[in-house]
Amino acid sequence: MNATLVKSAPPGDFAYISALNTGWHVQLHSLIAEKKPITYDFFPLRKFPDDVLGQVTQHGYQHLILENDRWQHFFIPPANDFT
């Protein structure tokens, strides 16, 4: 999945996921299945899990990274699903 750098956070109400919290992986899968917009802090992951990237790609999500804070990432569902 390709990521796009953005100058500011996209508008909208995002669910927040942190890899520092127990169960983040399950919560993230659930939010993707519900096609919810998601923001997450990449810290402390060195690499995002391939199974999650495959799922967001399959669901048509767009991956955005905040240019001035590259720890901040966003998964945006397809436009017609983003409410």
| Domain locations along the chain | 3-81
Q: How many helices (H) and strands (E) does the chain have?
A: 2, 5
Residue that wins the pLDDT comparison between 75 and 81 = 75
What distance, in Å, lies between the first and last C-alpha atoms of the chain? 23
* 31, 34, 43, 65 from 78: Cα distances, Å: 14, 12, 25, 17
Q: Give per-residue pLDDT as tens, 19-77.
A: 888 888 889 889 998 999 999 877 777 777 788 888 888 999 999 999 998 888 899 99
pTM score of the predicted model: 0.83
Fold classification of 3-81 is Translation Initiation Factor IF3 (3.30.110)
